[in-house]
A and B are shown apart, each in its own frame.
Chain A
């Protein structure tokens, strides 16, 4: 990986325009801040995992980075623009734990992947070229045979692949995933991480929230450990050796660590 290794302790590395840049960000839905004093810079090509206990502000951190909420204090930038004003939506692919639509909604895998082209076509129709990109994305994630299946009838792993394909169809530079492997069987999780690694090798920046610490240490290059504040930010190897986990999770985490 040619991207600069992150040195953790706030030392700025000069590189291309950072993809995500949070500077002294604080945010709370109420008076109590959910995240505080958070400064993170993510450069092109990085593979970053955000870990932390439940309610530690991981999802909020992603929302801040994506401009879905505005920081109470500090500055959140996405591709160099203030995140809330960022409107080149096609550069970002977002995969959530599960989509909000009802389980009964009839919609095919291809129709979901097609949405990746919407930021490119606006009110217009998809051109032949757009459809080719959609079908290529489906082939890339190995879901071509499932193109006409109802998304809501797929297994968890297949569904997540479809959502990745949507991000690919959008030709995103940044892939943001919020606990993508919840409810996905172990075998599919492996395949899923292989896919992420392949995409990252091709230069796509990957940022994910993951509760499974084994998966994080096996795959991510950089770990941000969060519990309201950043407890650790640096290479995965250093994270494993540090006591950040225990500090961030408290005593309960020690048990989690042992079990694994």
Chain B
């Protein structure tokens, strides 16, 4: 049972405010304005939608058990990288590129008589900043954290514009993802590559030093050459032994045999020969033993350099593998569509919202005014 003040005609005039005028101001005027706007001014807007997924087919190995369980799905949808793409799409950089290639500013001006929604609309000035604000209202990027699919919608005054802007944004996002990939790969590979080059140079230097030394002292393989020499000496020793035996036998049986002096000569020759051969192996100066120290050192160095090169090559391989694993892909789940019909603005809905809320506002204000009127001095 609500009592509202009687109509103005029944009361002694000049009181303020009348519910009638309040109703006009709070309900009739907004309703008429909304009706006029939706009927004559609002322009159709087409919405083009696409969906994409930023993912990493080989996620880095999980370090914890729980992490492993969570990531056992085979590929990880990298949310962080999705946010990077989101931020890029809503950036001034992206808008500047769109403006350069597609003249989005002009596209957003096509709103005809729609003074509210065309650019610059209610903005005070027509600058890049105001275009950026407008752009952020027309482009939306939202990521569903459960599936990590990102929905990109673009709303524009013609279907082609909406489609072209959406498509272009996707291409630009793909380029961004590729840039991120290239950067990551270059960073990981650069170090491994320089390491490998250094090891290669060292191995080559060691091999060259060894070859030069071999040429200089005319040694191919020290060990084998020494063995050969020793074999020679042993053979000579055998001959010496048999010569001596023969000599002592002949001397004992026939001391005046003419063979004796020949045998003596042979023994002396053999002894001299053995001394000369031994000197080649161990003696001072040009012997094999004196060459051994330097030769050993160079061989060791070459061995070491080769091991290092092997390790560096292995590291390079694993770095390449790692870079491959870190690759991100932007997968288009749903390609942008060329909208056939405008789905914005929703005129009936907007009009009803205005009517209902103005009625509620009016009811609220009349109740408040009525409660004030209950007080009398």
Q: Do A and B bind each other?
A: no
